[in-house]
Amino acid sequence: MQVRQRLENLSSELTATERKLCTALLLDYPYAGLDTIQDLAKKTGTSPPSISRFVTKLGFQGYQDFQRHLIDEIRQSNRSPLDLHVGDRPIQGDYLEDFVSRAVNLISASASAITSAQFERVCDLLGDEKRNVYLIGGRISDAIALYVSRHLRQVRSGVFHLPADPEIWPEYMLRMRSKDVLFMVDYRRYQRNLAELARRAKAQSGVQIVVLTDKWMSPAANHANEVFATPIESGTVWDSYSGAMVLMEAMLTRIAETNWDKTRKRIEAWDSLRFDHGARDDDQ
């Protein structure tokens, strides 16, 4: 029987340490198991005895027997490399797997809904250091705006995440110039006040507006210069933002790569300023 399958079978009766091992093995399956027992122990923060007991529990004679099995598996599956990744998950109707395949569809659809010209235009806008960037999102989608602003801040200066409280918005609006960019994320259950913010910011300062929304198009999109629309229907009770997330990652990566030298220097400078008790410098 496949090692992987044995892990599945036993996974209900594993101890904390054993689960940790299970996680590590599956994450880099099957190669993680080819390390020596000590190295694996160190990597997983467990101990050789625990590993030894674990593989015994899985039904092997000992660690070496376990490794022999893994090697055999590799040998077998060599003919169809894809097996390793997809084929041998035994459980039918596995929730996670099913969900993932839907998400993957969404993500592909998201990407193909955006032309590369538009993609480049928005990257240029947000990457342009001469423009300040203001970001905000809706109740849930603000998490995405936050993700973008945290990253963007590593690449460039002049990035401002607007707080949730509308009372404070005017303070930011007064600083917006017509070259600046207002980046809004607004998915359905649209928030009226975001559209209002867009309208007024546009009217007052002529700021450039980029909106990330779904196909029904947030009312804020009416005032936008650029609209990224991604599908969100996952066929479940919630909408899925994974398409938006990947799109944003692609955008951020593109921006960072475009001026990588500057970004690298900026990150280094930033790191040297980080307060020490909060950060580990050894990155691995």
Partner DNA sequence: CTAGCTTTGATATTATTTTTTCATAGTCAA
Partner DNA sequence: TTGACTATGAAAAAATAATATCAAAGCTAG
Report the alpha-carbon distance of residue 255 to residue 139 in Å, rounded. 26
Q: How far is the CB of 188 from its own copies (least distance, A)?
A: 6
Tell me which stretch binds its own copies (CB under 8 A): 28-36, 50-58, 124-132, 175-183: 28-36
Give the residue, chosen from 42, 89, 175, 265, that forms a contact with its own copies under the rule CB under 8 A: 89
Report the alpha-carbon distance of residue 57 to residue 54 in Å, rounded. 5
Q: How far is the CB of 276 from DNA (least distance, A)?
A: 26
> Side by side, which strands form the sheet with 159-161?
159-161, 133-137, 181-186, 208-213, 226-229
Task: Enumerate residues 6+ apart whose C-beta is below 8 A from 157.
Answer: 129
Give the residue, chosen from 66, 134, 147, 169, that forms a contact with its own copies under the rule CB under 8 A: 147
Q: How far is the CB of 273 from its own copies (least distance, A)?
A: 13
265 binds its own copies (CB under 8 A): no
CB-based contact 170:197 (threshold 8 Å): no
Q: How far is the CB of 51 from its own copies (least distance, A)?
A: 15
Report the alpha-carbon distance of residue 155 to residue 262 in Å, rounded. 8
127 binds its own copies (CB under 8 A): no
Nearer to its own copies, 171 or 257 (CB): 257
Q: Applying CB under 7 A, which residues contact DNA?
A: 15-18, 36-38, 45-53, 55, 61-64, 67, 206
Report the alpha-carbon distance of residue 161 to residue 183 in Å, rounded. 9
User: Binds 249, which of DNA, its own copies, none (CB < 5 to 8 A, cut-off by type)?
Assistant: its own copies
Nearer to its own copies, 237 or 269 (CB): 237
- Cis link prior to 49 (omega < 30° from 0)? no
